[in-house]
Amino acid sequence: MIDFHCHLDLYPDPDAAAAAAQQEQVAVLSVTTTPSAFAGTATLATERPMIRTALGLHPELAQQRGHELALFDQLVATTPFVGEIGLDGSPRFAQSRTAQVDVFAHILRSCADSGGRVLSIHSRGAVKPVLDALRAQPYAGTPVLHWFTGTVRQAEAAIEQGCWFSVGAPMLVTAKSRELVAMLPRDRVLTETDGPFATHKDRPVVPRDVADAIRLLAASWGTEISQAEDQIALNLKALLASHVGELSPAPEGQSLPGR
Ligand SMILES: [Zn+2]
């Protein structure tokens, strides 16, 4: 199983959460919210090949942590995975809007200069500006929209722009969101938990709970659960194949396609 967006470092016991995922053979993209958290979080993946660590700067922290962009630029050469990044359009974060846009644009430029990365992107209430920013940096890499909550039209625009989607069980609960998930290209869908922020029966979700998302996706696709799981595994393989081996930074001032 694949949990393509999980905050292992934010569990009360991160090492236990990482050990359990490795033991249960759940492939985890361990996202971070600040560049300064990357090194410590990456130690959770030591000798745990199922876990990969992404370098992030969460939009909700763009204002306070914008000064960590220099560290982001130093670290981006060390990983093919970038996240959690993006924009948040909710009223709570309205006053940091300018900082968010600047930070996101900087990160995308940095990824493009490094040859492209796999990007785990937050777009709550901000699908349009996220797509605009991605369009401005076409070589930033492969965008994977995490927990997409936009409209059908916005999903169409995102698909048109080459976006992938990481889908969690909460996205498959309401009829409206199920309809949206059903329209996503099956070969661009991954599963996620967004643990520990989402809940599973009154406790924080853990990576193995992606089983719920897989079961619901299989129902949506009208396939067996094992077929849905195989499809998602194939998708991840394809995504990684287009990014592995492109880790060395591009020559000064040059941008290379990420895929
Ligand atoms: Zn998240």
Q: Tens of pLDDT along 136-186?
A: 999 999 999 999 999 999 999 999 999 999 999 988 888 888 899 999 999
Tell me what percent of the residues of the chain surpass a pLDDT of 70: 94
Tell me what percent of the residues of the chain surpass a pLDDT of 90: 87
CA of 193 to the centre of ligand 1 (A): 9
User: Using CA atoms, how far apart are residues 75 and 71, in angstroms rounded to an integer?
Assistant: 6
CA of 11 to the centre of ligand 1 (A): 12
How does the average pLDDT of the chain come out, rounded? Answer: 93
**Which residues sit with Cβ closer than 5 angstroms to ligand 1, an ion?**
84, 194
Tokens representing residue 186 in the block: 């099956």
CA of 6 to the centre of ligand 1 (A): 6
CA of 237 to the centre of ligand 1 (A): 22
DSSP string, 122-181: E-TT-HHHHHHHHHH-TTSEEEEEES----HHHHHHHHHTT-EEEE-GGGGSSHHHHHHH
pLDDT, position 201: 84
pLDDT, position 220: 93
CA of 161 to the centre of ligand 1 (A): 22
CA of 245 to the centre of ligand 1 (A): 26
pLDDT, position 60: 97
CA of 250 to the centre of ligand 1 (A): 29
CA of 186 to the centre of ligand 1 (A): 22
List the domains of the chain with CATH numbers: 2-241 (3.20.20.140)
Q: Tens of pLDDT along 191-226?
A: 999 999 888 888 999 999 999 999 999 999 999 999
> 9, exposed or middle or buried, with CB in 10 Å at 0-12, 13-18, 19+?
buried
> Which has the closest alpha carbon to 56: 3, 10, 125?
10
Confidence (pTM): 0.93
Please name the helix (run of DSSP H) or strand (run of DSSP E) that holds residue 42, with its range, or none. helix 38-42
pLDDT, position 202: 87
Contact criterion met (CB below 8 Å) for 201 and 175: no
Banded model confidence at residue 242, pLDDT cuts 50, 70, 90? confident
pLDDT, position 56: 98
In this predicted structure, the answer to whether residue 229 has a pLDDT above a threshold of 60 is yes
